[in-house]
Amino acid sequence: MSKPVGDGLDAHHLPANSATNIAKGKGPATQMLPEDHRNTSSWGNSKEAKAYRQQVKQLMDDKQGRKALLIKLSKTTKYCYFFNNKYFFT
């Protein structure tokens, strides 16, 4: 997902770019406010974020991409409530 320059939004990749061989900009993503993006499970370099991305990467490597995507969507859609229903997934 590419964004318009200066729109103030982050692309939240589903799954994270580091967990897949999908070319950057070609995989599924949603746009989020940067402060909300920082609160997602896969953002940043924390021990927890790295472990979560590794779990998703292992699923992708094991040809379980659908399961990896469903886990990611499940976690991300929970943020719809956490972020006061700012984000919609269709």
Six token digits for residue 30: 């949603």
DSSP 9: -
pLDDT tens-place string over residues 28-64: 888 888 888 888 888 999 999 999 899 889 988 888 8
Q: Where are the domains of the chain?
A: 10-82
Extended strands (E) in 1-90: 10-13, 29-32
Cα 43 to Cα 64: distance, rounded to the nearest angstrom: 22
Cα 75 to Cα 72: distance, rounded to the nearest angstrom: 5
Residue 15 has phi, psi (to 5 degrees) of -80, 175
Cα 8 to Cα 21: distance, rounded to the nearest angstrom: 27
Question: Looking at residue 45, what is its pLDDT?
Answer: 94
Q: What is the pTM of this model?
A: 0.70
**Mean pLDDT to the nearest integer, 18-34:** 83
